[in-house]
Amino acid sequence: MRRFGIIALAATVFAVLVGPDGPLGRFWAPDPDAPAAHGAVLAGLIGENMVENIAFGVGIAILLLGRRWFAARTDTARAGQIARIATAWLLASWMPHAALHRHLGMQPTGILPVEWIFHAGSILAAVLLLWAFAHTVAAPARRSRPADNSTVRQPR
């Protein structure tokens, strides 16, 4: 768990540094024509941005270290991999999604691919995550047998 926290924190710091307002984020600087936020709205946007950065960090940590955790909670290695990657996408994709929105502004030709990639990607990830765990929940019911026959009541 300690390694997970360290990686999540490091990836969160990375997200802050390479974000549109970070010192390394000039490659996707905010659209200069976008209106500036002030006061409580600015504070709310900064807070929301930090939630996205933390989600990015946790998503990267899950991607790098979550293999065993997901494998233990699904009935096949494939379902575990799908669940891990889907979860990582659902968490880590928000930071680049928001950064691209700020960078592109309201240019429809720029926004359309961003919307398709991130929104359709999130919908697909949610469906795959549901499949991985629903498949796992249904599987034990089909094959459940007591391990020890001494606990099973025998007919008289």
pLDDT at 106: 84
pTM for this prediction? 0.83
Distance separating alpha carbons of residues 125 and 156, to the nearest angstrom: 52
What pLDDT is recorded for position 132?
A: 94
> Are the C-beta atoms of 72 and 140 separated by less than 8 Å?
no
Rounded to whole angstroms, how far apart are CA atoms 101 and 1? 33
The pLDDT, as a whole number, for residue 139 is: 56
* Residue numbers of the chain with a pLDDT score lower than 50: 141-145
What's the pLDDT score for residue 156? 53
pLDDT value at position 143? Answer: 44
Query: How many CA atoms lie less than 13 Å away from 88 in the CB half-sphere?
Result: 18
For 44, the token pair is 């709310």
Domains of the chain by residue range: 2-25+41-138
How far apart are alpha carbons 121 and 103 in whole angstroms?
20
